[in-house]
Structure 1
Amino acid sequence: MITNPAGTSPRPAERGARPAPDPAAPSHAPATTPPRRRTAAHTPLAPRRSVPLTALAGLVLVYTLLPLVWLVINATKDQESLLGSFGLWFGENFQLWDNISRTLSYDDGAFVRWTLNTLLYVAAGAGGATLLAVLGGYALAVYEFPGRRVVLAVVLGAVAVPGTALAVPTFLMFSGMGLADTPWAVIIPSLVSPFGLYLMWVFTAEAVPVELLEAARIDGAGELRLFCQVALPLLMPGTVTVLLFSMVATWNNYFLPLIMIRDPDWFPLSLGLNAWSAQARTTGGEPVFDLVITGSLLTVAPIVVIFLLLQRHWQSGLAAGSVKE
């Protein structure tokens, strides 16, 4: 037995203890591998890139913006340049401001009168439709009453019915009441928005907690105060969404005024521009294609501006109910 310098024998190694390394022994430690590069996780906010989907989205973007670009470019041309130059490039003279001035003053200011009529239809029709949709959707989502399921079934069925299918019965009904060829023939049908009612019903069920309403009732809040001060601020994104959809539907409404209105003084913009276009195509009529194009640009510009200003609200309104907690 080998003894240590003190002459004592070494203590036996404890069971399971790791032996001490020998400094003189060669080192055979494995080489350290470089850390593996972590790949970024793909989330809805950072999705995986796809070339075919990107190309498809680009084609859809071009298809959507090309008519608008054509409209803006040709609104800067006069009648001669409009018919004799390339449609996707500007003419020799920039006539946008002159075209706007002529459009607003042509035919004793008919375009201004049609704009005021359209604003009236939008304010009364779309505003009323939004108010009724908010009230009805809140009532269907919050209150329990007999026949609630029947009302929901009728609303869902009405969403699937196209408006053109109801145009002739609506005309016959308003003619019998003596309201045809009046603004009421356009405003009253615009108050009915089954899709807006359905959207507000779904949004209210997701955005307004029942516990919050019960707490407000315990504190002594009445139902009117409960709706105005508690629920309505929470319903603002959905309300803006329904308002935008109703505004666009009323602003671009063509078929309903076509069968209801005969007096040009009550024409909306869509019907008035169609009358100018028919006049330009008629043999012997005054060629006003430049005014039709400029008027079309002035017609779509307010809707584009409103959508851009309120996009934050209506995007959140459309996403209501898409995430389950």
Structure 2
Amino acid sequence: MTRIRLLPTAALVLGAIYCLVPTLWILIAATKSKTDLFSTATYLPSFGAGIWQNIVDLSTYQGGIFWQWMLNSFGYALIGGVLASLVSAACGYAIAMYSFRGRKVVFNTILACVLLPQIVLAIPQYLLLSNVGLTDSYLGVLLPQLFNPYGIYLCRIYAASSVPQSLLEAGRIDGASEWKLFHSVGLRLMGPGLITVFLLQFIAIWNNFLLPFVMVNSDDKFPLTVGLYSLLRHGAAEASLYSLVITGTLLSVLPVIALFLSLQRYWRLDLVTGALK
């Protein structure tokens, strides 16, 4: 029995090691200079000024375009995350709170979209947006990410469990409009769920590669994922750029960690717990 109980723990430890080893390698490799990267042991860190020189070289590469990529990624993820969360909240609230013809069909269709890999939609989305001249633009990257089926699913569940119909009926009796009820009652009670939806969508957009890779051609509109990939391709002919790619990868993780830590106090893993006090 003891051995059987140890198996899940061992599996979790192996999974943690599997996730931490690449992160540790990135952290150590970023401390090495361009010459030390290929001449020293893999997991032996450098205690010199290698990481600072790498950051300086990365900041000056092509006029500091890395920070433009960082700003683009932050803009895509922040604006897209906020708007997608609001769209998800409105859709989930409507499906949960109102009875209308075809509600089950709509919800089942959204569930089917959750199971659909988003990668298969990149080319159709490109073709659709190219017809209206939105390719190679910021809107071309933002618009396809505003509809988040999984976020709608989460908001529907959270609205059904945290927004009581009796409270809405009381508001209607007092003369509040449906928009007022959604804005003043629904959004407030769905707050913890919306934080979760925003965090998940922010990370999804921040890590998205294929959509901006297909949609954007200009270097100054690249997010970090596509920008670092283009830098990596150039590194095939110039090995010294590998240090910049590694340092850029390390820096790209920091905003996500900071966001997660700042929102952790508001984040609720269990979305079915009520928000009423």
Q: TM-score, with normalisation over the residues of structure 1? A: 0.79
Matches within 5 A, 1:258-269: 258-269=213-224
Q: Which residue of 2 aligns with 1:299?
A: 252
Query: Is the aligned partner of 1:240 residue 2:191?
Result: no
Paired-residue identity, %: 39
Q: Which residue of 2 aligns with 1:321?
A: 272
Instruction: Confirm or deny: 8 A CA contact 1:81 1:92 kept in the other structure.
Output: no
Q: Which residue of 2 aligns with 1:117?
A: 72
Q: Which residue of 1 aligns with 2:179?
A: 224
Q: In the TM superposition, what is the alpha-carbon distance from 1:156 to its structure 2 partner?
A: 1.0
SS at match of 2:81: helix
In the aligned structure 1, how far is the partner of 2:70 from the partner of 2:217?
17
Instruction: Confirm or deny: 8 A CA contact 2:31 2:47 kept in the other structure.
Output: no
In the aligned structure 2, how far is the partner of 1:75 from the partner of 1:58?
26
Matches within 5 A, 1:29-48: none
Q: Which residue of 2 aligns with 1:289?
A: 242
The structure with the largest helix share of the pair is 2
Q: Which protein, 1 or 2, shows the higher relative CO under an 8 Å CA cutoff with sep ≥ 6?
A: 2
Instruction: Confirm or deny: 8 A CA contact 1:114 1:269 kept in the other structure.
Output: yes
Query: Is the aligned partner of 1:56 residue 2:7?
Result: no
Q: In the TM superposition, what is the alpha-carbon distance from 1:322 to its structure 2 partner?
A: 7.7
Two-structure CA RMSD over aligned residues (Å): 1.9
In the aligned structure 1, how far is the partner of 2:173 from the partner of 2:47?
72
Instruction: Confirm or deny: 8 A CA contact 1:281 1:287 kept in the other structure.
Output: no
Query: Is the aligned partner of 1:178 residue 2:133?
Result: yes
**Structure 1, unpaired ranges of 5+:** 1-48
Q: In the TM superposition, what is the alpha-carbon distance from 1:258 to its structure 2 partner?
A: 1.1
In the aligned structure 2, how far is the partner of 1:276 from the partner of 1:221?
55
Larger Rg, first or second structure (1 or 2): 1
Instruction: Confirm or deny: 8 A CA contact 1:238 1:313 kept in the other structure.
Output: no
In the aligned structure 2, how far is the partner of 1:109 from the partner of 1:129?
30
Matches within 5 A, 1:180-199: 180-199=135-154
Instruction: Confirm or deny: 8 A CA contact 2:59 2:67 kept in the other structure.
Output: yes
Higher mean displacement: 71-80 or 305-314: 305-314
Instruction: Confirm or deny: 8 A CA contact 2:77 2:206 kept in the other structure.
Output: yes
Q: In the TM superposition, what is the alpha-carbon distance from 1:83 to its structure 2 partner?
A: 0.9
Q: In the TM superposition, what is the alpha-carbon distance from 1:259 to its structure 2 partner?
A: 1.0
In the aligned structure 1, how far is the partner of 2:203 from the partner of 2:47?
35
Q: In the TM superposition, what is the alpha-carbon distance from 1:164 to its structure 2 partner?
A: 1.6
Letter in 1 for 2:257: V
Q: In the TM superposition, what is the alpha-carbon distance from 1:294 to its structure 2 partner?
A: 0.6
**Structure 2, unpaired ranges of 5+:** none
Q: Which residue of 2 aligns with 1:99?
A: 54
